[in-house]
Chains A and B, each alone.
Chain A
Amino acid sequence: MIMRNSEVISISLRSLNDVSPGTPVSIRKLHATGAVRQRLLDLGLMPNVPVTVVRAAPLNDPIELRVDASAITLRRQEAATVEVDEA
């Protein structure tokens, strides 16, 4: 099947919100600004850092991540601002 270039790009671009539990990914870019951005950075969510989604809450939101040695939880709303690459 032939795909146009732009489609290929939009498929390879995804956020933490789309990652299913257990898949290792790597952070590409933070799209949030202000306090959210600062908090993400503070908790070690920086570009090129490997991240794994551990689980989603029983009601599907928020989600839990493993970053370095620590477990981080964030709402999907915030997760959607973190762009990731397949690791």
Chain B
Amino acid sequence: MAGSIQVALAGQQNAGKSTLFNALTGARQHVANYPGVTVDKKYGHYSFNGTAVVAVDLPGTYSLTSFSLEERVARDFLVRERPDVAVNVVDAANLRRSLHLTLQLLEMGLKTVVALNMMDVAKGRGLDIDIATLSARLSVPVIATVGSRGVGREELKQLIHDRSRRPQQALKPVNYGELEPIVADVALSLGEVALATSLPSRWLALKILEGDQQAELLVREHMSADKAQTVLEAAREMAATFEAANECDVCDHIITARDAQIRAIVDGCVKASATKGETLTSRVDRVLLNRLAAPFFLVLTVYLIYQVSIVWGYELTNYTWPYLAKTRELIAGLLPNAGFLEDPYTRSMGLWLVDSANTLLNYVPIFLILFALIAILEDSGYMARIAFILDKILHRFGLHGQSTLPLILGGVFAGGCAVPGIMATKGIPDNRARMATIFAVPFMNCLAKVPLYTLLLGIFFVEDKSLMMFYISTMTIIFALLVSKLLTKTVLRGQETSPFVMEMPTYHLPTVSGVLRRSFERTWIYIKKVGTIVIAVAVVVFTLLQFPGLPEERMAYYESQAITAVEKFQKAMNGTSYAAVAEDENIVPLVNFYSNYKRAKLNAGGAAGSKRVAETFQAENPAFYALVKPPRGDKDAKKGRRALRSLIRTRMTLRRDMKEERITNSFLGVVGRSMEPVTQFAGFDWKINVALLSSFAARESSVATLGVLFQQDDDQNSSLEDRMGSETRSGGATALLAVSMILFFALYPPCLATTVMVKVQTGSYMWMLFSILFPTVLGLTVSSLVYSIGVATGVSGIQMMTIVYFSALALLIIVGLMSDRRSALRLRRMTTEVSGGS
């Protein structure tokens, strides 16, 4: 867009950059990804004096080296996009540390405006900053802001506008002393790269001397291979000579010189009026991080989050679900009508999609609450404290202090959900630990696993129910930790790690708008990203379950059954005043009318709604309605209703039998059957295989599929537990099979929505595939071992479960102690190096 201004917000973590970004752009924000990485790219728009402004919120960085992903992303953006203005958001209370980034921005030749943010906090600490002097010494405009209250927003917009109109100034903010001649030399040799990239050659020279890989890449990109080689080698040689002569690393020299410069700038600019004693943050921390009290506050926080989001949120879905059900009805009404035995594909597929979508949308209230609470934790500064408290344990298993929250959300006790759990891994600064967390979270106790556990415990462990439930709910964390340790040592070995050296932010009161914004934003990402892919895969699963369909002779059999039933109905109606209703062309509309009426009544809610439904249906077709709800004293209608009910029952039975047969014959059924040779070691027959396969679409469906598969005659009104119990027992199934199933289900691959989230958070389909295959193999191995050994030795189910539980626990303790010893050894070695080194 001609005349529009591009602004990049750069700043250190905890400088209030995002808050200021929100204040600038308001609601007009978008989130995208930087190419090839999973770092969020946030941008927003506003207009100032008729000029359109695009603002980009860069990831928070301390400096612009290329050691961390965030820094590389931020710097890459500044180098490649060359924004018109860079707004450097500076934590006023931490000026000296913050100015390192400022000077680096200036060295990059960016038109910079400094927003001295969180002035209120600085004032509270008794700091008085002379803005005019600071601005003069830096030779850039400086403005005081308080992002959370919008203070200084309009002035900042004005400054950005003015700055973009003025030409770039050539600045040499730092004097590097003895290094200066070398910098000049290298800069001279990089002239053409500077020209091609419109970056200052001085900045390029500094980066090359620091040995910065990204900068070397830039040189190779814009120079012939030979020339680049010569120039880089010459620079390396000069750096080596300098280091030998000064007994000092070039990087250290650069940073020390910059720090000296900053001291000179800050000196006299910042006045600390009589130190006001202890800050509020350190007083709060003395309580919250007290050695004895810290675990207590942590458990309390975790419990509150769990209670409010998962438990109360789940209750809230009882109120929101009817709306989803109504939407389903609305769509069902728009789709073509159901047939007597088979529905048109548009109908069955349409409803299948709506059901899949509803399963996901049902979680929206939970997510809204959850994401709001997480935002509060992050903004307040307590999240960093959680990491501080728990890092030691989690670090031993390849995780990070900040893995705590994802694991909790995944479900520690009674159940959680892996989708928000994986979404919450975003904040973990160490990439390898983040990846390990992503793969560990699905092993936690997902809410949808609970119905299957309840079912199996109800059949096989009536007496040991509570002990089994205790095993199941605590075993998940053991598995999660062991898995993350295993993965860290194997497939994740090569992943980038970051040092655990971070700032403990000061406590802040989160703003309502900031919290709500983040909550809606993340929920929307969930709906958008997970929703679209789930719908796509739902189509695939539907096809796998529907096709190739029933063989012709079976279809003919069902049709003849249907005709018999219809004829029976017509015979019953013959001679009554409703005979016309029972004519062939009326049959399908009539049975649909009946079931629509029943469903509408179910969803009506309240006497008034119920009455309205009755009126609508009566008006629609009075003759049909008479059979559905016979008028008082109408004997024919009463007889008709009896006959109709019998017809509808037969229809339902036939449809269900057909469904079962169709699943048996379906591609998925065939797959389930073909898996039997492998799964037999775990004790699974093909029916269980199909249930486990279809539960991939949504965990909840595993119990439903089992219900369909273990169906018996309609009149036999026994519960699924009885039916499954009798059928599996007659097939020789024991509590051992149940243990095998439970273990497989505990280690089972995450549901579809979760694997999609894995794709989103890792940015790769390969990892998504891994997140499916690895647990499958692991689960099958464990279940097969348990079942086969159990059968061979003849131990009971509960004994086996106890053995497995305590073996896993023992393994966990051994692994934990071993890595503790190793890290102690490493620590000693390092300490010796320090002592011996100088």
> Interface residues, chain A, CB within 8 Å of chain B?
10, 13-15, 17-18, 29, 31-32, 34-44, 46-47, 54-62, 64, 68-78, 80-81, 83
Contact = CB atoms under 8 A, between A and B. Distances in A.
B834 A62 contact: no
B835 A13 contact: yes
19 contacts: A13-B835, A17-B831, A31-B834, A35-B499, A36-B499, A38-B67, A43-B62, A55-B289, A58-B294, A59-B392, A62-B392, A68-B94, A68-B97, A71-B504, A73-B384, A74-B502, A75-B391, A80-B830, A83-B837
A81 B834 contact: yes
Contacts of B837: 31, 83
B468 interface: no
B823 A72 contact: no
A60 B392 contact: yes
A71 B94 CA distance: 11
B259 A46 contact: yes
B827 interface: yes
A38 to B, nearest CB: 5
B255 interface: yes
* In the complex, the 9 A-B pairs of residues with the closest C-beta atoms, listed nearest first: A42-B62, A71-B504, A59-B392, A36-B499, A35-B67, A74-B501, A80-B830, A75-B500, A39-B501
Contacts, number: 140
Contact of B827 (A17, A46, A83): A17
A42 B101 CA distance: 9
Interface in B371-388: 384, 387-388
A28 to B, nearest CB: 8
Interface of B: 62-63, 65, 67-68, 93-94, 96-97, 100, 125, 251-252, 255-256, 259, 281-282, 285, 289, 291-292, 294-295, 384, 387-389, 391-393, 395, 401, 498-504, 506, 823, 826-827, 830-831, 833-835, 837-838
Contacts of A10: 835
A74 to B, nearest CB: 4
Contacts of B500: 62, 73-75, 77-78
Contacts of A14: 834-835
Contacts of B504: 64, 70-73
Nearest to A62: B391
Nearest to A16: B834
B503 A43 contact: yes
B96 A68 contact: yes
Nearest to B293: A58
Contacts of B295: 58
Determine chain B's interface SS by DSSP, over half rule: helix
B391 A13 contact: no
Contacts of A43: 62, 97, 501-503
B385 to A, nearest CB: 9
A80 B393 CA distance: 19
A47 B257 CA distance: 12
B506 to A, nearest CB: 8
B97 A35 contact: no
Contacts of B823: 77
B488 to A, nearest CB: 16
Contacts of B67: 34-35, 38-39
Contacts of A56: 291
A57 B389 contact: yes
A68 B125 CA distance: 13
A76 B391 CA distance: 11
Given A73-B502, A77-B826, A78-B500, A15 B125 contact: no
A15 B834 contact: yes
Contacts of B252: 41
Nearest to B93: A69
A18 B256 CA distance: 26
Contacts of A42: 62-63, 97, 100
B827 A80 contact: yes
A61 to B, nearest CB: 5
B502 A41 contact: no
Contacts of B387: 73
Q: Counting chain A CB atoms within 10 Å of each CB, which of B387, B826, B830 scores highest?
A: B830
A77 B503 CA distance: 17
Contacts of B65: 38
A69 B94 contact: yes
Contacts of B498: 35, 39
Nearest to A45: B501
A52 B570 CA distance: 93
Given A61-B391, A83-B834, A72 B289 contact: no
B387 to A, nearest CB: 8
A41 B295 CA distance: 31
A62 B833 CA distance: 20
A7 B65 CA distance: 40
B501 A13 contact: no
Given A31-B837, A40-B501, A80-B834, 14 more contacts: A14-B834, A14-B835, A31-B830, A31-B834, A32-B499, A35-B67, A38-B251, A46-B256, A58-B389, A62-B500, A64-B388, A71-B503, A73-B387, A78-B499
Nearest to B384: A73
A13 B831 CA distance: 10
B838 A29 contact: yes
A69 B838 contact: no
A65 to B, nearest CB: 9
B499 A13 contact: no
A81 B821 CA distance: 19
A37 B68 CA distance: 12
B34 to A, nearest CB: 20
A8 B255 CA distance: 32
Nearest to B295: A58
